[in-house]
Amino acid sequence: MRHIEVQYQDGTHAFVDDHFLDSLINLGRITHFYRPSERRWIQIGVGPTRKEEGPLPGKERRRNGHLLAMIPRLSDATLNHSL
């Protein structure tokens, strides 16, 4: 869990769990958030946010429901040999 600094509509600042950032953006609750990787503030509607960024290179594994496909399965022979 990571915390992101945000600026609310009334100008106040707070740190929020990064999982809530998309919701705050979609609800129009914040005007800016600080992106530590770029060491700068992102203005909502002007700067690139999570939804507007292109996909990262490589296969998406978090949201496609194929988590079990990433875990190697043991064959029956391996299971019987280990008993």
Domain extents in the chain: 3-82
Residue 83, pLDDT score: 46
Amino acid at 53: E
Residue 82, pLDDT score: 46
Residue 46, pLDDT score: 85
Buried b / exposed e over 37-67, threshold 16 CB at 10 Å, is eeeeebebeeeebeeeeeeeeeeeeeeeeee
What tens-digit pLDDT sequence spans the chain (83 residues)? 799 999 999 999 999 999 999 999 999 999 999 999 999 999 998 866 654 445 556 665 555 554 445 455 555 554 455 44
